[in-house]
Amino acid sequence: MSTSEFAESRFSQSRRPAQDLEFTGERIVPGSVSEALFREHEARYIFAGQYVARKKVLDIACGTGIGTSYLLKAGAQSCIGLDIDERTIGYAKAVYPECTFGVSDALDITLLDSSVDVVVSFETIEHVSDQVKFLMECSRVLRADGLLICSTPNKRVYRWLGNNPFHVREYTLKEFKVLLESKFDRIDYYAQAPRFYFTYVARALTSRCLSLLGVKDEVKRFARWKASPLSVQDEFGEGDSVLAEAVRPLRRSTFVESAYLIGVGRKPPE
């Protein structure tokens, strides 16, 4: 990306040494996240990788930058990662120097108009206070016919897990479609992590009841339940071809709901 395209950026360009980051459940911290959660995030970035060849890419709410780095390796011409958390961006700058990182609010993206070809937004829109303004910002920084790749948890699945204090609003498929289609055209929808819905709901409600009764840990020990091990990987896309098939075109079903919804849409003509 040219210097002029960063002229109005409010990036802090100083580098920091890599440091341990607290894992809150909302950002991927290599070495501190379960293998299952690591793989879910990895699959989304592998999916996005097919759209970025020779493109200028923005990874908004990039977290530690692990996905931003993957998109560059997948063939992007350049890749910028922005996140609101300064400490996390300090980590990304130190660990992934091949990319450009900066601190930015997703509702006030620190890039010029029409400066990127692709915006990647994974698990972001449910966090922001004004979802429409967020999409308008994504559209603003995209060039004509630019591409938005946006994912969010499916409300019909995640509602059974209880309230997430980090989420402002979660979406059903219908709500997600209405939101995206208010600002973008020619949207294709994809699904990740399908669940047999009624079985999933029964298990989720049972788990919550056991937690309320204070006996969940005892039941886990009795059942010899083992948590997913921590991931030992610190890079995405290390040759697991199965993940390339983890995101599929959305197919509606009475009995199956996907944990994550993904929309891929184009910026409409001016």
Q: Give backbone dihedrals phi and psi of 180, rounded to 5 degrees, phi first.
A: -65, -40
Residue 149: both structure tokens together: 């790749």
Cα–Cα distance measured from residue 151 to residue 74, given in angstroms and rounded to the nearest whole number: 19
Q: Is the pLDDT of residue 48 over 90?
A: yes
Full strand arrangement of the beta sheet holding 256-266: 100-103, 78-83, 56-60, 116-122, 142-153, 256-266, 185-196, 247-249
Q: Are 72 and 98 in contact (CB under 8 A)?
A: yes
How do the domains of the chain map onto residue ranges?
Answer: 3-196+230-266
The pLDDT value recorded for residue 5 is: 43
Q: What is the mean pLDDT of residues 137-142?
A: 98
Q: Percent of the chain at pLDDT above 90? A: 59
pLDDT in tens, 91-108: 999 999 999 999 999 999
Confidence of residue 17 (pLDDT cuts 50, 70, 90): very low
Residue 117: both structure tokens together: 């070809």
CATH number corresponding to 3-196+230-266: 3.40.50.150
The pLDDT value recorded for residue 113 is: 97
Q: Is the pLDDT of residue 20 over 70?
A: no
The pLDDT value recorded for residue 51 is: 97
Q: Phi-psi bin for 213: left (phi > 0), alpha (psi -120 to 50), beta?
A: alpha
Q: Is the pLDDT of residue 10 over 50?
A: no
Q: Are 115 and 141 in contact (CB under 8 A)?
A: yes
Q: Is the pLDDT of residue 262 over 50?
A: yes
pTM score: 0.85
Cα–Cα distance measured from residue 149 to residue 116, given in angstroms and rounded to the nearest whole number: 13
Residue 140: both structure tokens together: 């603003």
The pLDDT value recorded for residue 7 is: 33
Q: What is the mean pLDDT of residues 124-152?
A: 97
Q: What is the mean pLDDT of residues 110-139?
A: 97
Name the more confident of 71 and 14.
71
Highest mean predicted confidence (pLDDT) among 153-157, 212-216, 222-226, 244-248: 153-157
Q: Percent of the chain at pLDDT above 70? A: 82
CA dihedral 190, 164, 204, 42 (to 10 degrees): 40
Name the more confident of 159 and 47.
47
Q: Are 42 and 65 in contact (CB under 8 A)?
A: no
Q: Is the pLDDT of residue 211 over 90?
A: no
pLDDT in tens, 243-257: 767 899 998 888 999
The pLDDT value recorded for residue 6 is: 37
